[in-house]
Structure formats: C-alpha cells, structure tokens
Structure 1
Amino acid sequence: MVVGGSLGGLAAAHELRAAGADVAVHERSAPRTPAHGAGIVVRPDIEALLHRLGVPVEAVAVELYESRRLDVDGRAVREEAPQWMTAWDVLHRVLREPLADVCHRLDGALRRVRVEGHEVTAEFSDGYTAHGNFLVGADGIGSATRRLLDPSFRPAYAGYVGWRGLEPESRLPGDLRELLSGRLTHFTSDGMQMLCSLVPGPGGELEKGARRVNWVWYVNVAERDLPALLPGRSARRSASFLPPGDVPPETAERVVREAEASLPPALAELVRLSDPFAQPVLDVPPWRMVADHAALIGDAAGTVRPHTSVAASKAFGDAAGLATALLGWTPAQPLPAVALEHWEVLRLDRLVTLAGTGRELAAASGLGVGAGRTFFTGD
C-alpha cells in the first residue's frame, strides 16, 4: 500500500510493481490533484524511470542551454548549464497514465495503521479500510504516515516563502519571452532569490508559444507575519501551500509592489503579469526510513531545500532502492531486514548530505531563520 499519490508515490508504485508487488495507491487529495507549479530538473533517477516507461526525456521536458544571472539593473552574466526542465503536472500525468489498472483511491487521509504478523491494516478518513503486507509512506512534508510512526513529528518553518507563478508563454511580451527562452534566469540579493525558466505546457506542449514560464521568488518572511500574508480568498490557511487563484487581491498587489521595489525590471514585470501563489519553505529533519512492515520515502522521510533541485529525484531514488530491497520477498517469509537496513543507511546518508547542501545554498543568499533582510513585514 502506497500512501501518497504525488510523484514519489507514483514512482514507488511503478518500482514496486516492477519488483512483482500488487500495488494500491491512496491519495488524500480530492479527485483533482493540484498542480504545484514546480519546475523539475530531470536528473538521472527520474530519467531512468522514464526510460523504463518508454518515455524519452525530450518528449516531456524543455532543454535549457545556459544559466543567466541578472543584477538589479538587468545586466546579465551567462554560463553554459545544459539541463532538461519539466513540470510537476506533466510528470505526474506521465507516471499516472500507465497505472490505469492499479487501484488508485483519492480523497482519503490516513488515520490509523495496525500491523499483525505480516498483515498491515490502514484506515482512512473516508471510512475505507485497506489491507496489505507493506506500507510505503510517500505522503510528503505533512506526512500522516510519519506522524503515526513518530507522534512528535512537526515540520519547522525555514524562515522564508517561495512565491510562485506558472504562466502561459503566449501571454508574455516578446522581449520577456526572449529573455527567458533556452536558459535558467536567476537573481540573488540579500534575503531573496528568484529563478525562472520555460517548462512544457499543461498538456505537455513543447512548441514555442505553447510552453509555460515557471518562476519562484524566495523571500525571507518572519514567522509572525505569515498569518496575515498567507490566508486565502476562502479564509483557508495552509501550512505548506496557498494555491493559484486563492491569493487575495490585496496580497497579490503587495507581492507586485515588493517585486517592483526589489527585482530587476524584467523579473518584476513577470511577477506583475502572473497569478501568484505561495509555498512556505518547511524543514522535516531526517528520521528513520524503515519501521515494522513500513517505509518512508521522499519528503516524508526528511526534506531537502528546493535550491538543490533534487527533491523529486531523491524520492525516485528512494523508491527504486526500496523496490530492490524488497525484490523476491513474499509475506510467507520474514522481512528482508538486512537489505532494508542497507537501503535505509544509504538513503539517509544521502538525505543528510543533500539537506546540509540545501541549507548552505539558502544561507549563501541570506535565506532562512535569522539570516538576511526580511520582507512583507507587518504594520
């Protein structure tokens, strides 16, 4: 049973099914799983699974040739930095469609887990009860699976917010499209960092004019100022996501004013032309990844800061390694404890290294608790 139907959970479903398991995926979101608007760098762990699914990278990603760093006046410094960029919703669809024959339940949050021998029983908020032999928690930063295994679990606010946008390329003026085409464009100042690039269109379109511009603007925001900044139009408050269309007009106007005062003119214009949404950056410290007939992967096991651009790739690697550790196991046998322990040690070591790198990258831009200039301060 895989808890979590985002990218890591779908990767786990593919990897475990390839290892011979019967898989069911349980997702807490309602039928329309939201596109988080994140651009995703296609790294080797992602490419390996795409290759096995018969999907060429160039069919789902935009190729970037260089990195372009702007100063506050818009002058640029360029360097070669080839990479492929896709988008969360595109990759989700590519992974979801081949699993049409797999049980995929939506709108049910995990509430309770019981283990009796080799049988695992999972109870969900909609009253559904599922039975299996192994539980994989791939349910992200707010992981219910980890919370059940570790009642003290609480994500910690890292001290800054990522304002985001995902806009059709065709809606932007020609000079702005030209500035962003074929490159990762970024700007860094004390207490902030902005990155933007082209990604495929919502249906995977790769043609010029049919793609989208994905941008993220990280800014330090004091925790005391979050409640006033992040309530949505519907008065909802989310610890990890304020979705597109839910940002009140007065907040969107405030974002534009801050952008015009802080960013190079072209990037400020991009913010002004966008429908922004927000994700506070949260830290989940590395923890154990294996429990009794259960495992945690991806952000549920611990987070890495987004500046590393490896969070999705790490989840794919976690899933592939877990499937290898469970290869050949049947419920009639004892769990392959040695293989699972080896997997856990290797993946936790990588997680700790990546988490440290992410904090260093954030600190270099003055991002984080107690670092750099603070924005969106209260009255």
Structure 2
Amino acid sequence: MEPSRTARAVIVGGSLGGLAAAHELAAVGAEVAVYERSAGNTRARGAGIVMQPEVEDLLGRLGVTARQVSVELWERQQLHLHGEPDRYAMPQSMTSWDTLHRTLRAPLEGVCHRRDSALRRVTVEGAEVTAEFGDGHTAQGNFLVGADGIGSATRRLLDPATRPAYSGYVAWRGLEPESALPDDLRDLLSGRFTVFSAEGQQVLCHPVPGAEGELGEGERRINWVWYTNVSERDLPRLLTGRSGRTHTAFLPPGEILPETEKELLGTAEVTLPAPLTRLIEASEVFLQPVYDLPPFRMVADHAALIGDAAGTVRPHTASGTSKAFGDAAGLAAALRDWTADRPLPAERLAHWEENRLVELLTLAEAGLDLAARSQLGTPAGPRYFAGA
C-alpha cells in the first residue's frame, strides 16, 4: 500500500493572516509555502493591535506568552477639548504589527517564503493547483489560501466583480518613539488607552512595543489613529505623495505633501485637544482610507479566502487580526487529516465557511454601529479636508 501524499498548501499573502495560516496548516500536517507580493520588508499598515484570544492562542502554541510581545495598559481616558480627562480602570494588552510579524516569521525560517510574488493566475486541474506570479515563477500545490488582504488578487481571480467600497472616512496614523516626545505628553499617554470623540472624527492612542519589540518605559512607541470624514472626491489630493504618485490604499510615512500636512495640523488645532495636536505635530504621518468589502464566499475549488481577503470589518472592532487568525485556525481544523490523494473534505469546509461568514457579518455590523456613534461614514456627519 502506497503511503499517503502530504497535502501542499500555497499561501498567497505574507502578512499576519498568511503567517498564521502557515503555522496552522503545518500543525495539521500540510507542507506550506508563503508568497508575498511586497518586494522588501512588509510595512506595518495598522501598527497597533489589541491582544485577542485567537492571537494569544496561536502564540501560546509557539511557546510565546502575550506578555512577551505586549504593552500592558491599566487605564482608559477620555479627553475633552476643555477640562480634565475622564479616567477609569481598564486593563488591556497592546501589541504591534511588526512585533507580531517578527514573532510569527521566526519559527518559519525553514519554510519557503518568497517575496516580490504578485499573483497573476490560478489554475486547478484535478487535485493540483498552480499559482503563477508576475515574475514568471509558478508554484504547485493541492490547496490555495488567499490571505492577501483587502486588495486580494486571489479574490479578484475567484470573483472579478467584487470590489472594496470607500466607507466615507480615513485614518490618519502615526507611530512615534516614546522617548522622542516631551515628558508631559509621554506622562499623559503612558500606560493608558486614550480616546477622543466628536462628530465626524475620533482619535485613539496607546503605547505599543518598540521597533525591536522593546517593552520598557521610554523604549516603546506611541501609536495613534485619527479617523475623519473625508469626501471621496478629496481622496486623490490627500493621497498624492511627495514623489508625485497618487496612492489608492495607503500613503506611506514621509510622503505627505507639505500643504496637506499644513492642512492636517490646522484642522487638528481647531478640532482636537491640545495634547493630541502636539502629538500629531511631532509625528511622521501616514494615511489609510477605510474601505468596506462585503463577504462573498470563502471556499472555492481547492481554494479558500481568509482575513480581509474574505471580507472586512471596521477597525473600531479591534478584531481584524484576530478574525484572520480565527479563519486560519478553523480552516486548518477543516483540513485536518486530509492528504493529497484523497477528496477534499467538502462538508467540513462548507461548515467552516458558513460559521465564519456568520461571524464576519456580525462583526461587520458591529463595526458599522461603532463608527456611526461618532458619525463616521454617515451622511449626517461633518466633512473635513474639503478641497476648493
């Protein structure tokens, strides 16, 4: 009797969801290979991450505790334009994209992890899947996992009609060394999750580990995000960088135009508490429009979508990363004991898809509700950064 053939999984996307899928599928016996479209080191496009159970569970199986990769907060504070902050106890653990990425990547040192691999074509013949990339490289496997984010090439190949839709607001972001901030500002923000809300805008701010994972006071970074309503017609102007290129999904740090930066600080001075304006002024700002991608499906012929490739949730739920980890764990459970010479466990995959889509829809609705409380993305909410 011939031995069973190990299933080979081709994972498209080398960010956190793709790395989680690599760990989960390897744990159930699959041979995994990861293909990332970025040519260099993948940059953190949403630096702060709330430590959630799904993330903590995978870390634990890798021998890493949440405390080793997180900043412990003890308090939440609500800032106001005038007057003292409102504060109350709320313990919380915060990590960062790059800390998690480094932690997940290190144990996969012996696994194929190929960069500069933009997916162009997928073909399925029987039980064999072939992925073709922009540089001419091809990869063969028995199952394809699309973990390539909201702009997923995998999803476009499976369903060309599905496109993300602009939500009506953007996220201005910064990630600054704690040591670079004035003492009074650092004291205000250290150990706390800071919030400011007004009609059509919201600011969230908290410490995260340092660039190399440092957790000591003064060695960490301050992560902040400022959500503001922006009309879609103003996006191209705000997303135009110093290089002259107009970006679509992400304006990198260092690219904001001087006139946009001046407009940003002018708006902050009028609408935000003074400490937050000072923080933004001290930061290298980057910009992300918030997009919605409704769930379509997660399973196709010898393929699956996970994370934002399958559908998005608004960032206010603090569950984008944990959802991707949960998707990966459930997919691996559905494929447990499957080998390349056996039919796919279609019933288990269908059950996984049904359950995850229900959860995705629930989270998506919760995110819309949280955004609406600050009139973010709603027709009634005021607009900012309106062009002439």
Which bin holds the TM-score, normalised by the shorter protein?
A: over 0.9
Q: Which residue of 1 aligns with 2:76?
A: 67
TM-score by length of 2: 0.96
Cα distance, 1:153 vs. partner? 1.6
Aligned length: 379
Q: Report the AA paired with residue 18 of structure 2.
A: G
Q: Which residue of 1 aligns with 2:363?
A: 354
Q: Which residue of 1 aligns with 2:130?
A: 121
Structure 1 residue matching 2:218: 3-state secondary structure? coil
Q: Which residue of 2 aligns with 1:196?
A: 205
- The answer to whether the Cα contact below 8 Å between 2:236 and 2:247 also exists between their aligned partners in 1 is no
- Unpaired runs of 5+ in structure 1? none
Q: Does 1:53 pair with 2:62?
A: yes
2:220 to 211, 227, 232: 211
Q: Does 1:266 pair with 2:293?
A: no
Equivalent residues in 2 for 1:1-379, closer than 5 Å = 1-379=10-388
Structure 1 residue matching 2:132: 3-state secondary structure? strand
Can you list the C-alpha shifts for 1:277-332, whole angstroms capped at 9, x where unaligned? Answer: 00000000011100000000000000000000000000000000000000000111
Following the alignment from structure 1 to structure 2, what is the Cα–Cα distance between the partners of residues 74 and 346?
Answer: 46
- The answer to whether the Cα contact below 8 Å between 1:363 and 1:371 also exists between their aligned partners in 2 is no
Pick closer, same or farther for the CA change 1:262–1:352 going to 2, 3 Å: same
- The answer to whether the Cα contact below 8 Å between 1:160 and 1:222 also exists between their aligned partners in 2 is yes
TM-score by length of 1: 0.99
Q: Identity, % of aligned pairs?
A: 64
Following the alignment from structure 2 to structure 1, what is the Cα–Cα distance between the partners of residues 245 and 57?
Answer: 39
- The answer to whether the Cα contact below 8 Å between 1:74 and 1:265 also exists between their aligned partners in 2 is no
Following the alignment from structure 2 to structure 1, what is the Cα–Cα distance between the partners of residues 365 and 105?
Answer: 32
Cα distance, 1:236 vs. partner? 2.1
Cα distance, 1:24 vs. partner? 0.3
Following the alignment from structure 2 to structure 1, what is the Cα–Cα distance between the partners of residues 260 and 386?
Answer: 12
Cα distance, 1:257 vs. partner? 1.1
Q: Which residue of 1 aligns with 2:3?
A: none
Pick closer, same or farther for the CA change 1:171–1:100 going to 2, 3 Å: same
Following the alignment from structure 1 to structure 2, what is the Cα–Cα distance between the partners of residues 274 and 370?
Answer: 30
Cα distance, 1:82 vs. partner? 1.2
Following the alignment from structure 1 to structure 2, what is the Cα–Cα distance between the partners of residues 121 and 266?
Answer: 53
Alignment RMSD (CA, Å): 0.9
Q: Report the AA paired with residue 214 of structure 1.
A: N
Structure 2 residue matching 1:23: 3-state secondary structure? strand
Q: Report the AA paired with residue 255 of structure 1.
A: L
Q: Report the AA paired with residue 148 of structure 2.
A: D
